[in-house]
Amino acid sequence: MQGLHILAEFHGCACAGGPMEDAPELGRLCEAACTAAGLGVVGRLFHAFGTPDAPAGATGAVVLAESHLTVHTWPELRAVTLDLYVCNFSRDNRAAAEAVYAALADAFRPARTVRRDVARGNPAVTPSPDAGIEVI
Amino acid sequence: MQGLHILAEFHGCACAGGPMEDAPELGRLCEAACTAAGLGVVGRLFHAFGTPDAPAGATGAVVLAESHLTVHTWPELRAVTLDLYVCNFSRDNRAAAEAVYAALADAFRPARTVRRDVARGNPAVTPSPDAGIEVI
């Protein structure tokens, strides 16, 4: 269960339409990025908000043998949030995670990114005294 | 896109079998927890590892109108990782997130939890100088 979790937000995306609004296209993009990086895709599920005439973003998940990729788009804000969690059960997947991240950044072309890297599943992490809740 | 993301790890779970190993049961648990909390489920996708005779954990996602819930189990470690991201587009979903978290903790009965709460989508977050990567 130990691994890398990248939490990222893309702001000011130059990408208009396409995966920003179209759920099947977003799903294909995400699955292709994971497959190209050598990650094991076990399924994907994507959903579009709004209507074809008035798209309101897309959302979904690629479930991986190594954990998951989730992406949510806000076309009205030209923004995207993504989470990529890759555990290192059978190998170190850090390079694969960076490859997926780069592929999504290439597709959405953000002007600004906010990214946090979290080490998951490390039993050495000491929770804070208040019932193990650590606020960051 | 602003909202709360709970990253949690459950260690020493008293739950044996059930949602720790059975993907459909894990999916039902996760979806029911979200629905009971008033969150909008748009789909779910769960997958089991191993074989019926030798289960090796389950993994999956509930895609929400408010973002997502993902859960991965490691029965051999009696451990679970979960991510629950609820954006506050139409209302403050913090209470709903806490209800889902409590329902999953009730189901898995961890002896110890490691939880991190991350505020997502806050444009006031300043990325660090190294290409916006902030390691926490």
> In what helix (H) or strand (E) does residue A85 lie, and over which residues does it extend?
strand A79-87
CA distance B17 to chain A (A): 18
Give the model confidence (pLDDT) of A57-92 as tens digits. Answer: 999 999 999 999 999 999 999 999 999 999 987 788
Q: Which two tokens stand for residue A117?
A: 């890297």
| pTM of the full structure | 0.91
Interior angle at CA B72, CA B66 and CA B74, nearest 5: 160
Q: Would you state the CATH architecture of domain B3-120?
A: 4-Layer Sandwich (3.60)
Ordered by start, the domain boundaries in chain A are 3-120
- B116–A135 C-beta distance less than 8 A: yes
The Cα of B104 is separated from the nearest Cα of chain A by a number of Å equal to 15
Using an 8 Å CB-CB cutoff, list chain B residues near A7: 5, 118, 120
Q: Could you say which of A59, A117, A131 has the minimum Cβ distance to residue B133? A: A117
B114 and A127 within 8 Å at the Cβ level: the answer is yes
- Rounded to the nearest angstrom, the minimum Cα separation between A54 and chain B is 17
Mean pLDDT confidence for A44-64: 95
Over residues B20-72, the pLDDT tens digits come to 999 999 999 999 999 999 999 999 999 999 998 899 999 999 999 999 999 99
Q: Which residues touch A51 (CB under 8 Å, ≥6 apart)?
A: none
